[in-house]
């Protein structure tokens, strides 16, 4: 057995990384300060509730093959020409509920991991009512845009996730004193993913109109609220 001796305490992290690599594991990466602050936030009730709803729908619809629940939640019938007959029939939820549908493990995992952290920032800084209103708006507008452009056969929380990304990104740019922000590398990662999907690099279908609509909507909201909050913070006390 090989032995590894560390003379100085400050060299211990490097020694641990070396030992991990020798065992065939990747070296540990230090968590960026932005993420460390985000991870310390308590999980909000709205954030948790949407997580639970998405997991429940995925479990029933995808894992247990109860596809009727997907038909109930989708924007409209999959196999027929898109109409807005459901609105005239009072099925208003269909504008929102496609956000709760996911088509595979990676799909639901990717969206919920981002939702948990990004939505939780909003809930802890702006409150649950603000997050709920943001969710409804950032689901309804991108979902409607996607349906009009491509039809009703889509689902996923990613339009809302991109709206949250756009909001937090531009909010921090406009209001640099904001307590929470995302690392630039993660913003570039998500924008890069959006661009790759936009040019159909991948073989699977992607709701690009929902992603783009959510991103733009979030950026506009982030600019507006960032400006308003900056004005409030900078207002002199009397």
With left for phi above 0 and alpha for psi between -120 and 50, is residue 205 left, alpha or beta?
Answer: beta
Q: Where are the beta strands (DSSP E) in the chain?
A: none
Give CA–CA dist 121/42, Å, rounded. 9
CA 102, distance to chain mean position in Å, is 13
With left for phi above 0 and alpha for psi between -120 and 50, is residue 29 left, alpha or beta?
Answer: beta
Measure Cα distances from 34 to 1, 162, 181, 229 in Å: 40, 18, 6, 20
Residues with catalytic function: 158, 211
Tokens linked to 223: 């600019």
With left for phi above 0 and alpha for psi between -120 and 50, is residue 200 left, alpha or beta?
Answer: left
User: Is the sign of the CA dihedral 120, 207, 96, 61 positive or negative?
Assistant: negative
């Amino acid at each position: 057995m090989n032995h590894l001796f560390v003379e100085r305490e400050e060299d211990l992290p490097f020694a641990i990384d070396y030992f991990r690599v020798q065992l065939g594991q990747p070296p540990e990466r230090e968590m960026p300060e932005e993420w460390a602050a985000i991870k310390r936030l308590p999980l909000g009730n709205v954030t948790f509730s949407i997580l639970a709803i998405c997991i429940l729908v995925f479990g029933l619809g995808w894992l247990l093959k109860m596809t009727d629940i997907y038909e109930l939640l989708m924007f409209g019938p999959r196999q027929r020409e898109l109409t807005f007959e459901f609105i005239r029939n009072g099925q208003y939820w269909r504008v929102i509920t496609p956000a709760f549908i996911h088509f595979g493990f990676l799909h639901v995992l990717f969206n919920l991991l981002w939702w948990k952290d990004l939505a939780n920032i909003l809930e802890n800084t702006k409150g649950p009512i603000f997050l709920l209103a943001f969710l409804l708006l950032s689901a309804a507008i991108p979902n409607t845009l996607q349906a009009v452009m491509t039809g009703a056969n889509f689902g996923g929380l990613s339009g809302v996730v991109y709206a949250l990304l756009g909001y937090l990104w531009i909010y921090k740019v406009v209001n640099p004193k904001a307590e929470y922000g995302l690392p630039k590398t993660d913003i570039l990662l998500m924008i890069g993913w959006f661009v790759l999907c936009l040019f159909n690099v991948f073989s699977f279908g992607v709701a690009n109109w929902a992603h783009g609509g959510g991103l733009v909507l979030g950026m506009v909201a982030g600019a507006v609220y960032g400006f308003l909050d900056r004005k409030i913070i900078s207002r002199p006390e009397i």
